[in-house]
Structure 1
Amino acid sequence: MSIHISEKRVGVLFAILGVVLFSTKAVMVKIAYGYGVDHLSLLLFRMIFAVPVYVIIAFWKKPLNPKQIQRKDFLWLVFFGVVGYYLASLFDFMGLQHIKAGLERIILFVYPTIVVLLSWVVFKKKITKTQAVAIAITYIGVIVIFSNEMGVNSGQKVLWGGFLVFLSAITYAAYLVGSGWLIPKFGVMQFTSYAMIVSTFCVVVHYLLVSDLDIFRFSWEVYLLGCAMAFFATLLPSFLVSAAIERLGASTFSIFGSLGPVSTIILAYLFIGEQITLIQLFGMLVVIGGVAFVSKK
């Protein structure tokens, strides 16, 4: 019994640490932008610092069910690597140039509602009345936050940034919906590693096509933040979340997801001085409540 309880406690600790560390990404991106780095260079640094570990995992851990893997599965893996990590990350980093870290996290947090809607459109999965109401409530909360933020800051800038981050949420949700049938064949860590390698390749090609190739023109703080994002906001939380799900189960872990927006807002206030109004706080609670209902089985 004591071992069982201990495992649960470790799982809870891993879940909290994983969610909070994932939340640091937006704050570090906003800090890095203060040093004059562009979104593509910063994304490149994050990916190239992280990819060696994923390459090691890809060679170390073989696919779970190699006999079930067909040639077209590798093509789908490349597709989801492009959509789920390259495009999602690119839109996210672009959007963070225009909106606050806290607002970005709240928009990304609605991806479970997009998963439900995409599953309905693609796989004809029925949406229950409770889910429909919860989705409506979620987007009412987002509209409340947006309308207030547009009144405080430049409306067009906020709208464009929010749209880009929402595209990031859509592409990530598409990755989750579409890759579900591939993960049992490859394994979670293996599939993630392969997808991250594909994504890194896309970022490098993108950078080579549009940049002047001078990657050493930034201050040392930019490279330090890129390395910190790779380790503390990408690699470490991904392993912590996997370990937490293994100990707690996916349903129990989902309870801790609401810590994401809250921790981002707190960290953004502490480290970059972002403020949040009472109306935005109310909208955030509405969004969290709506997503929590949508995520319930």
Structure 2
Amino acid sequence: MQTASHQLKGSLYILFSALMYATLPVLVKLAYAQGLTPESTLFLRYLFSFLLLVVVLAGIKKEPVLTLKPLVFVQGALLTAGGLFYFFALEYLSAGLTTVIFFAHPALVALFGIFIYREAVVPRVLGGLALALSGIYVLSGLQNASSLTSADGIIYALLACLCYALYSLVGQKTLADSKPLSITATIALIAIFIVAPLFPTDASVIFYLTWPQLVIAVLMACLNTLLAVLFFLKGLQQIGATRATLISTAEPVFCLILAYLILGETLTLKEIIGSGMVLASMFLAIRTVDHAPVEPEAVKREHM
């Protein structure tokens, strides 16, 4: 039986995952300053993640590196496709608009979860979901934007949103009989095989990396992929896809804080208000876990 402490632990796992994902913009700016392209950065992120997982699983834990469950391959393809679509969308749309569309995925997860896993969505979850989406809308600055001009960009962002929502739901199913670390390694390897053929020139950067580029790539692998994906999957086991995805919307708030602390970017009143709304939605999600039913697929826990 799943206890409140286990569900709180799952919420904290998801929150930590969001923080790890939020370090990505800072590291990406450093990578671009060192001459890396978006495609090469994406490839290096997955490559070094896989290499690190090989060391951890095969060298330290003495466990299988890969899992051959068919759904894990589907999950890896979805996550990779979502990442690529997100990068493509940023070529056409503003970051604010792309973020708003992408972070609509909690609504899709909640909707799909009701029909696929028969998850019970209580009023607090619905209220938190609406609050999170409203907060991200405020953060995006769309109130004064006129960037709704690119149909291609909107389609790419919607595809990224859809891919990530499906990735979350498939992940809830695969965790029933697979270990998070093996799932993460398999997803990273799948991403390598997808990205390298699509961008062979950018992937060849591995043969002439400078030391600063190498350090940035390893940090991205550790923070943005290894820890972020691992803790998201572990949290998913504890609290299910709907609540996990809702709490993960704290990511843009963490991005603003890190940008202020590290890059010196200032917070506007609008950004402070939007951040507060997202944090409030996260509080509702964590409070709800004491009363929500447990999803069967999320009961099994992984102990590291």
Q: TM-score, normalised by structure 1?
A: 0.68
SS in 1 for 2:36: coil
Describe the shift of the 1:230–1:34 C-alpha distance in structure 2 as closer, same or farther (beyond 3 A). same
Q: Which residue of 2 aligns with 1:285?
A: 276
Q: How far has the Cα of 1:93 moved from its partner?
A: 4.1
SS at 1:268 equivalent: helix
Distance 1:223-1:257 versus aligned 2 partners, 3 A rule: same
Is 2:11 the partner of 1:20? no
User: For residues 165-176 of structure 1, what are the structure 2 equivalents within 5 Å?
Assistant: 167-176=159-168
SS at structure 1 position matched to 2:176: helix
Give the drift of 1:116: 0.8
The letter of the residue matching 1:188 is P
Q: 1:29 maps to what in 2?
A: 28
Q: Check whether the contact 1:82–1:199 (CA below 8 A) recurs between aligned residues.
A: yes
Deviation, 1:41, is: 0.9
Quick one: distance in 1 between partners of 2:74 and 2:231? 26
Distance 1:110 1:48 in 2: 29
- Superposition deviation, residue 80 in structure 1: 1.2
Query: What corresponds to 2:192 in structure 1?
Result: 200
Verify the 8 A CA contact 1:26 1:104 in the aligned structure 2: no
Q: Is the 8 A contact 1:18 1:240 kept in 2?
A: yes
Residues 1-297 of structure 1 correspond to what in structure 2 (within 5 A)? 19-56=18-55, 59=58, 60-62=62-64, 74-84=69-79, 86-94=80-88, 99=94, 111-123=105-117, 125=119, 127-148=121-142, 151=145, 155=147, 167-208=159-200, 213=204, 220-237=211-228, 250=239, 260-293=251-284, 296=288, 297=292
The alpha-carbon deviation at position 52 of structure 1 amounts to 1.4
Q: Cα RMSD between the aligned structures?
A: 4.5
1:81/1:198 contact within 8 Å kept: yes
Unmatched segments (≥5 aa) in structure 1: 1-9, 67-72
Q: 1:103 and 1:222, CA in 2 relative to 1: closer, same or farther beyond 3 A?
A: farther
Say whether the 8 Å CA contact 1:113–1:294 is kept in structure 2.
no
> Cα distance 1:107–1:155, how it changes in 2: closer, same or farther (>3 A)?
closer
**Runs of 5+ unmatched residues, structure 2:** 1-8, 293-304
SS in 2 for 1:180: helix
Deviation string for 1:155-203 (max 9, x for gaps)? 3599987875664343222112123222221222222222222222212
- Give the Cα separation in 2 of the matches to 1:133 and 1:15: 19
Change (3 A) 1:183 1:256: closer
Q: Secondary structure at the match of 1:185?
A: coil
1:80-127 Cα shifts (integer Å, max 9, x gaps): 11102x123323444566655x99778766644332122135456554
CA distance, structure 1, for counterparts of residue 191 and residue 156 of structure 2: 18
CA drift at 1:39: 1.4
Q: Please say if residues 99 and 158 of structure 1, whose CA atoms lie closer than 8 Å, have aligned partners that are also in contact.
A: no
AA at the equivalent of 1:231: C
Counterpart of 2:215 in structure 1: which amino acid?
A: L
Calculate percent identity across the aligned residue pairs: 22
- Equivalent AA in structure 2 for residue 61 of structure 1: E
Give how far 1:270 is off: 3.0
**2:50–2:188 CA contact under 8 A, matched in 1:** yes
Provide the TM-score with structure 2 as the length reference. Answer: 0.67
How many residues end up aligned between the 2 structures? 275
Q: What is the CA–CA distance in structure 2 between the aligned matches of 1:12 and 1:142, rounded to whole Å?
A: 20
